[in-house]
Amino acid sequence: MSRIGSVLGLVPRLPSVLRTLLRLRPAQARAQLRHTLFGLSAPRSYSGESPRLATDRPHTAFLVPPAHVKSDGVTAIEMLGTSFPIGSPIDWATSHGGPLFAYHLHQHEALRLPAFSPEARAVFIRDWIHHHESGVGWDPHPISLRLLCWGKLLVAQGIQGADADIQEEMIRSMASQAETLSHGLEIRLQANHLLSNLIGIVFTGMLLDGDVASEWRNRASDLIEELDLQVRPDGGHEERSPMYHGLLLEGLLDLLNLCRSDESRAPDGLVQKLSDVIREMLVALDLMTHSDGRPALFADCAFDIAARFAELRDYASRLGITPADLVRSGYLPQTGYFRLSAGGYELIASVAAPSPEHQPGHAHCDALAFELSVDGNRLVTDMGLYEYRAGRRRDLARATASHSTFEFDGREQAELWAAHRVGGRPEVELTGWNENGEAVAICRGWSRNAPLHRRHFQVDDEGVTIIDSVEGKFGEVAFCLPIDPAWQVELEANTARAMRDLASDESMPVVVEIELAECFEWCLERRFYYPTFGREVERAALVGHATNARFNGATTHFRRVE
C-alpha cells in the first residue's frame, strides 16, 4: 500500500487518530508527518579518513547475550522463539518471524555467543556489509544496537584470529552507520528508541578515535538531556516496561564500561550522570522484580529478553557503582508501581495510566492490576507478550480482560488501536500508601461516564486482601485472576484452592486458599499466557461476573494453607 493509501486507511478511525495525535510533542508530530510522507532517509556512506579503535579492552566484561538468543554457530540462530538458517547466502530481507525478528537479526546479538568462532563472526559480518547496503538493517533502532554489538566484539577480542581485514571493514561500516544514525534520530518515536539511538552514537564515539568520532562523542549532551526527560525522579523509565527498563539499563552500563576504560576521553559530566542514573534505575528495577529474580510482566514485558536484575546489579558493581540495599516494600510515585511484602507474600501492582503521554505504544490496560508471589512462587501473573504484529495475540495481550483488574461492560480502560497506539486514556492515581502493608488506588476508564474503580491492597503475615468498590453506573463488571501455569486450581462455589508442587521431593506442596467475592458468579477457565515472545501457554484463570444490581463491593483474600 502507498504511503498516501496508508494515511487514507486511517480515516474510519479519525476520532481515535486525533486523540492520539493531540498528545504528540510538536517536534515529534513534525517528524511523524515527514516519515509518513517520505519514509526513512537513505543510508549515508562515510568517505572521510577511517577512524581508529581507541581502546583494545573494556574496563570489565560485558554481559552475555539475553537468554532468548541461541545458536550452534554454524547452521541456525534462534531468537524470540523463532529459528532462522544462517548458511550462505543469508536472507537479510527475510520476513520470517515478522518485523521484530528482522530487527533482532540485524542487531547481530547472536554473534557474541561462544558458539561462534571468530572466523564465523567475520563471515557473518562481511556478508551483511556487502549484501545489505539498504533495507531494514539501516533503520535507526537496529543500527543503535548493532553498533554496541560490534563494539563489544572489537574490544572483547571476539574477532581475534579472523583475517586481518575484518576489523578495518567493521570500523569503516560503523562510521557509515553512526553517521546515518546521527542524522536520522527517531524523533518521531521518542522514548526507548531515541534513547538507544543516542547511547549507540556516544558509545561509538568512545570506541573510536578521529575527528568524526569526537562529533559522535559530543552528542553526550543530547544523551544527558534525554536521560533527564526519560528517567523519572524515582528511577523508573517513562514507558513503565520492566523489560525496556532493563534493556536501556544494560546499554547505559555498556557505555559507562567504555568510559571507565579511559575516562580522560569521556565528555564532561557523562560519567557522573551515567553513574547517578544507573544507581537510580537499579533501585526502580529492584522494586519491579519478584524474589524469583524476574520482572513483573506489566506493560510490554516478557521473560528472557533483558538481563536479569542480579546480572545488571553485578555489572554495575564491577563498574564501581555501589548498589542500593534491596527493598521488599516501596513505591515509585512517578512511574506508578508499588510492592508490598510480608510473611512470604509479595504483591506488585500497576497504578498509572498509559505512559509517556506522547508515546504510550508499550502500554497495556493494566491499571490496578497486580501480580502475587507466595513463598517466592508466582501465583497471580500478568499477561506477558507474544508479538508486536497487529492481530488477536497483540490485542489479547493489551486488553483489560487479560489483567487482574475490573472490566466494565466490555469496555477497555484505554482506547487501544493498531498494535502500538492509544487514543483516550484512563485517569489513574495512587491515593493512599503505607509501607507497612497498605495501598489504595483509583481508576476511571477513558470512555464517557465510565465508573470509578477503587482498590484497597492489604498485605501482612496472614495473607493478602484486595477490597474493591465502584462509584458510578455500569451494567456488568468482570474480574479475572490469571494464575501461573505451574499451579493446579480447583474451584468450589466462591472458594478456590491453588496447589503448586515444588521441585524437591522432600518439600511439601504450597497450597493457597483464595476466598472470592460472593457478589460475582465465578468460573474456572483456560486462558492464554505469553511468558515470552513466540510462546503461548494455556493456564487457569478465575473469572467472575456481576451485574450492577448484584455488586455491592468485593473482597478477595489469599491465604497460605499450612
- Other C-beta atoms closer than 10 Å to the C-beta of 225 total 11
Give the DSSP H/E element, type plus range, for residue 373. strand 370-374
pLDDT(561) > 50: yes
Q: How far is Cα 503 from Cα 239, in angstroms, rounded to an integer?
A: 36
Bridge pairing between strands 495-500 and 510-515: antiparallel
Q: How far is Cα 25 from Cα 186, in angstroms, rounded to an integer?
A: 13
Mean pLDDT of all residues in 404-432:
96
- Cβ-in-10-Å burial (0-12, 13-18, 19+) of 436 comes to exposed
Give the pLDDT score at 505: 55
Q: How far is Cα 562 from Cα 545, in angstroms, rounded to an integer?
A: 30
Give the pLDDT score at 503: 60
Give the pLDDT score at 160: 86
pLDDT(161) > 90: no
Domain with CATH 2.70.98.70 in the chain: 332-561
pLDDT(326) > 90: no
Q: Identify whether the C-beta of residue 498 lies closer than 8 Å to the C-beta of residue 379.
A: yes
Percentage with pLDDT > 90 across the chain: 89
Cis preceding linkage at 26, omega within 30: no
Domain with CATH 1.50.10.100 in the chain: 45-327
Give the pLDDT score at 163: 83
Give the pLDDT score at 1: 44
- pLDDT, tens digit (0-9, with 9 covering 90-100), for 352-397: 999 999 999 999 999 999 999 999 999 999 999 999 999 999 999 9
The one-letter amino acid at 562: E
Place of cell 518471524: 97
If you average pLDDT over each of 50-59, 264-273, 497-506, which comes out highest? 264-273
* Per-residue CA distances from 425 to 13, 414, 440 (Å): 16, 5, 20
Question: Average per-residue pLDDT in the chain?
Answer: 94
pLDDT(440) > 60: yes
List helix spans (H) across 1-117: 3-8, 14-21, 26-38, 98-107
Q: How far is Cα 493 from Cα 480, in angstroms, rounded to an integer?
A: 16
Q: How far is Cα 387 from Cα 536, in angstroms, rounded to an integer?
A: 10
Q: Identify whether the C-beta of residue 281 lies closer than 8 Å to the C-beta of residue 324.
A: no
CA 382 to chain centre: 14
Q: What are phi and psi of 74, to 5 degrees?
A: -130, -55
Q: Identify whether the C-beta of residue 193 lies closer than 8 Å to the C-beta of residue 420.
A: no
- pLDDT, tens digit (0-9, with 9 covering 90-100), for 168-216: 999 999 999 999 999 999 999 999 999 999 999 999 999 999 989 999 9
Per the rule left: phi > 0, alpha: psi between -120 and 50, beta: everything else, 198 is alpha
Per the rule left: phi > 0, alpha: psi between -120 and 50, beta: everything else, 328 is alpha
CATH of domain 332-561: 2.70.98.70
CA 486 to chain centre: 24
C-alpha closest to that of 207 among 160, 120, 287, 148: 148
pLDDT(110) > 90: yes
pLDDT(97) > 90: no
Report residue 7's pLDDT band, with 50, 70 and 90 as the boundaries. Answer: low
pLDDT(96) > 90: no
Q: Which residues contact 247 (CB under 8 A, 6 or more apart)?
A: 192, 305, 306
Q: How far is Cα 17 from Cα 173, in angstroms, rounded to an integer?
A: 39
- pLDDT, tens digit (0-9, with 9 covering 90-100), for 223-246: 999 999 999 999 999 999 999 999
Report residue 294's pLDDT band, with 50, 70 and 90 as the boundaries. Answer: very high
Percentage with pLDDT > 70 across the chain: 97
Q: Which fold has domain 45-327?
A: Glycosyltransferase (1.50.10)
* Per-residue CA distances from 61 to 113, 151, 257, 266, 383 (Å): 14, 13, 9, 19, 34
- pLDDT, tens digit (0-9, with 9 covering 90-100), for 58-73: 999 999 999 999 999 9
Q: How far is Cα 312 from Cα 308, in angstroms, rounded to an integer?
A: 6
pLDDT(506) > 60: no
- pLDDT, tens digit (0-9, with 9 covering 90-100), for 536-553: 999 999 999 999 999 999
Q: How far is Cα 464 from Cα 559, in angstroms, rounded to an integer?
A: 7
Report residue 9's pLDDT band, with 50, 70 and 90 as the boundaries. Answer: low
pTM over cut 0.75: yes
Report residue 56's pLDDT band, with 50, 70 and 90 as the boundaries. Answer: confident
DSSP-assigned beta bridge partners for residue 330: 339
List helix spans (H) across 164-308: 165-182, 191-207, 211-217, 220-230, 242-261, 270-287
* Per-residue CA distances from 541 to 91, 121, 228 (Å): 42, 46, 41
Write the secondary structure of 190-216 as one string of H (helix), E (strand) and C (coil).
CHHHHHHHHHHHHHHHHHEECHHHHHH
Mean pLDDT of all residues in 102-117:
96
C-alpha closest to that of 175 among 333, 46, 17: 46
pLDDT(277) > 90: yes
